[in-house]
Amino acid sequence: MSYPDPKYVEGRGEITAEFRPADTPADLRSGTGSRTHYLATDASTRGEFGLYRMDMAPKAGGPRTHFHKSISESFFIIEGTVRLYNGESWIDGTAGDFLYVPQGGLHAFRNDSDDPASMLLLFTPGAPREEYFEKVAEVATEWSPEEQAEFFIKHDTYWTE
């Protein structure tokens, strides 16, 4: 395997790094008290990847079993216990644990514990996941089945149950 073709060809480098302090407020707060931080979006990485930190409230639950056709999803547990479904069984992921799910891989995650949990979610290649995170709760409770199906297909999310 070799390195991909260069995307930057100017030769001298540029000052383009983006720093996000740890105390930056969350970009999204849910009704459960969970928070999502948009660390690196599809737009900011020019489609290379998306990286998000999810700070999950106690008993926050999570999405049911699903898969993606065009993006992989990786989970890195920072703190607490996150239940991870690897397509075969549920695993209690704790600080330092990692789960990679390639395109087509069945997966789910949830916080069923009495304590908060925090994890990083990495999507590759990048995809505009912000709209998904911002509207998924509304979609599940207020939209018609037809509107829901269209939304989930638009966001490369295919439910198995």
pLDDT in tens, 34-85: 999 999 999 999 999 999 999 999 999 999 999 999 999 999 999 999 999 9
**Residue 83 near residue 90 (C-beta atoms within 8 A):** yes
For the segment 86-137, what is each residue's pLDDT rounded down to a tens digit? 999 999 999 999 999 999 999 999 999 999 999 999 999 999 999 999 998 8
pLDDT band at residue 24 under the 50/70/90 scheme: very high
What does the pLDDT read at residue 111? 97
153-160: which pairs have CB atoms within 8 A and are 24 or more residues apart? 155/127, 155/129, 155/131, 156/68, 156/69, 156/70, 156/71, 156/127, 157/66, 157/68, 157/132, 158/66, 158/67, 158/68, 158/69, 159/64, 159/65, 159/66, 160/64, 160/65, 160/66, 160/67, 160/106
Judged against a pLDDT cut of 90, whether residue 15 lies above it is answered with yes
What does the pLDDT read at residue 32? 83
Of 155 and 138, more confident: 155
Tokens describing residue 7: 């995307």
Burial 51-86 (b: 16+ CB within 10 A, else e): bbbbbbbeebebeeebbbeebbbbbbbbebbbbbbb
Q: Is 146 helix (H, G, I), strand (E, B) or coil?
A: helix
pLDDT band at residue 161 under the 50/70/90 scheme: confident
What does the pLDDT read at residue 31? 82
Type of residue found at 67: F
d(CA 78, CA 3): 30
What does the pLDDT read at residue 93? 98
What does the pLDDT read at residue 141? 84
Domains in the chain and their CATH numbers? 28-159 (2.60.120.10)
